[in-house]
Amino acid sequence: MRTRFDGENCSVARALEVLGDWWTLLVVREAFIGTRRFGDFEANLGIAKNVLSQRLDHLVEHGVLARVDAGVHGTRYEYELTPMGKDLVTVMTALRQWGDRWIFGEGHEPLVVVDRKTGRAIPRQVLRGEDGEPLRGRDLDVQPGPGATAKTRGRFRSG
């Protein structure tokens, strides 16, 4: 039985409750590249119908996808990204760029995302400070936020 994170006071853990398995992320990837119909998700992913149905229902239940009636002759549903789902573009881009760099290597990227205006590949995502300068891991500090519980705050108290 898989561990549940829905009670955790951590945004990463709670996000994993919604997105935390490979099929779910691959369904989201497909939605980003325009897949809308159940049969197309199934064919593009090579996923079992029952697993796909569970993942689509889960993403709809959590507000990442919307099930829309696209039937002309009777009811036929399609799936589209909601604003919450579209907001995953930075997460999906960062994950794809990480895989391009560390798994496939430069010059072997399976997909290239381009800016529609320029036709050029989008640049690598970089964290930037308020001054616009790139930030590295050593430049970051993690501190309790306004929604931190007492337990979370306690983890960050010094000695």
The encoded tokens of residue 147 equal 């929604």
Scan for tokens 């936020």, then name that residue.
Answer: 145
Confidence of residue 75 (pLDDT cuts 50, 70, 90): confident
pLDDT, tens digit, for every residue of 95-110? 999 999 999 999 999 9
Determine the Cα angle at 64 with ends 120 and 17, to 5°. 110
The pLDDT assigned to 35 comes to 97
Confidence of residue 159 (pLDDT cuts 50, 70, 90): very low
pLDDT of residue 20 exceeding 90? no
pLDDT of residue 60 exceeding 80? yes
The pLDDT assigned to 1 comes to 55
pLDDT, tens digit, for every residue of 23-49? 999 999 999 999 999 999 999 999 999
Residues 6+ apart with CB under 8 A from 88: 19, 28, 32, 64, 81
Q: What is the DSSP string of the chain?
A: -PPP-TT-S-HHHHHHHHH-SHHHHHHHHHHHTT--BHHHHHHHHT--HHHHHHHHHHHHHTTSEEEEE--SSS--EEEEE-HHHHTTHHHHHHHHHHHIIIII-TT--S---B-TTT-PBPPPP--B-TTS-B--GGG------TT--HHHHHHTS--
pLDDT of residue 152 exceeding 60? yes
d(CA 61, CA 124): 32
Confidence of residue 144 (pLDDT cuts 50, 70, 90): very high
Report in angstroms the alpha-carbon separations of 18 from 83, 112, 115, 119.
15, 26, 29, 33
Spell out the domains of the chain, with CATH numbers in brackets: 1-87 (1.10.10.10), 88-137 (no CATH)
The encoded tokens of residue 151 equal 């337990």
What's the mean per-residue pLDDT of the chain? 92
The pLDDT assigned to 82 comes to 98
